[in-house]
Amino acid sequence: MNASDKSTTFEVGGCRPETNPSVERLAAHPQGHEPISFLVLLLPGFSQLCLSSLIDPLRLANSLSSSTLFRWQVVSLDGRSVESASGISVEVAGSFDECQESLLLDRRRTLMIFAGEGVKHHNTDNLRAFLRRCVRTHVPIYALGTATWLLAEAGVLSEVRCTIHWGSMAAMSETFYGLAIDDALFVRDGHIVTCAGELSAFDLAMVLVEERSGAELVRNICQHVIADRWRDGANFQSAPPGLRYANAGKKLLSIIQIMEKHIDDPMPLEEVARRGLLSRRQMERLFVQHLSTTPRRYYLSLRLLKARQLVELTAMPFMDIAVACGFFSSSHFSKCFRDHFKLPPSQLRKCSTH
């Protein structure tokens, strides 16, 4: 399967579709008793929560099954310890350069990259070139957190569906125009797996374990870590807390998704309700019941949240940001922004560059 093949999101936790024998198993991992081996590259500012959420379940899989199902080797770009976003440094086994050729030659190995804030400062020409080599030679790549940005800058996502943490989604869509970015926990397209990071890394780990050893081991791991469920990879990652599992919230999630797809050209609320198969009054009641706000205020907050991402993470002119977020003038945008965040966009950008 190559990067242009049909993408899939993972179905887990008893929500699996009918088995399709033509769909490749997770990132072409070896079958049988051969351990799945990961080369884990940590970039400065990575999320320690994301790293632990993925690696610890794999460790437990080995321990609870009394066999080596997974192996991993942690490296950094220069071979030195890497400081996470929380300020805690993690020791590594070596430098990424020393492992590149063995990764390309050993078909049993997979590249896994963890990145966080400031990812653009660590994307070197050599790293971009190597990522392109990995794609050409069908080395499976897992990009977690903001590591999807690295793949976009390397030019390997033009025909690939992907995801990234919702906090970087708006900036990525404006910076790399035309990418197919899903609001999902994780997405597999060919040999590339992208994951929003943080706790969604745990859900991705559960898929890895289930693919490798079955659902019973997954249930044992969940019991061990005191987790009562794991989530479908297609879950809407930016859904408001409490709505993902609420039956009454499903219609509201549909409404929110319609709003998010029409940020640059806001849709009249009557049309939003109609597309969500609700009346305006029904939609109003759902927002008050679940989110303690009105549809109008929530829609505005979505537009302003995207605007804040673009102010902080891009160099776009404020007028362009206003247009991208559905405001008819720069002055109207600035007023709404200041009222919502208690500071003007110019001050926020100045703070984010220091």
E strand spans, 12-118: 36-42, 70-76, 82-83, 89-90, 94-95, 109-115
Assess contact for 149 and 131: CB atoms under 8 A.
no
Q: Bridge partners of 42?
A: 114
Q: 216, exposed or middle or buried, with CB in 10 Å at 0-12, 13-18, 19+?
A: exposed
Nearest Cα neighbor of 60 from 231, 211, 202 is 202
Q: Which domains does the chain have, with CATH numbers?
A: 26-224 (3.40.50.880), 240-354 (1.10.10.60)
Q: How far apart are CA 68 and CA 275, in angstroms?
A: 50
3-state helix/strand/coil string of 106-167: CCCEEEEEEECCCHHHHCCHHHHHHHHHHHHCCCCEEEEECCHHHHHHCCCCCCCEECCCHH
> pLDDT at position 170, please?
92
Q: How far apart are CA 136 and CA 155, in angstroms?
A: 12
Q: Is the dihedral of CA 190, 2, 111, 37 positive or negative?
A: positive
Pair of tokens at residue 337: 């922004």
- 242 phi-psi bin (left φ>0, alpha ψ -120 to 50, beta other): left
Pair of tokens at residue 125: 């020409």
Assess contact for 198 and 230: CB atoms under 8 A.
no
Side chain identity at 142, as an amino acid letter?
Y
Instruction: Count the helices and strands in the chain (H runs, E runs).
Output: 14, 11
For residue 301, what are the CA distances in angstroms to 63, 164, 270, 340?
Answer: 46, 21, 18, 8
What is residue 220's three-state secondary structure? Answer: helix
> pLDDT at position 234, please?
81
> pLDDT at position 244, please?
53
* Tens-binned pLDDT, residue by residue, of the chain (354 aa): 343 344 444 433 333 333 332 233 454 454 457 899 999 999 999 999 999 999 999 999 999 999 999 999 999 999 999 999 999 999 999 999 999 999 998 878 899 999 998 898 888 899 999 999 999 999 999 999 999 999 999 999 998 999 999 999 999 999 998 899 999 999 999 999 999 999 999 999 999 999 999 999 999 999 999 988 888 888 877 777 656 555 556 788 889 989 999 999 999 999 999 999 999 999 999 999 888 999 999 999 999 999 999 999 899 999 999 999 999 999 999 999 999 999 999 999 988 766
Q: Bridge partners of 95?
A: 76
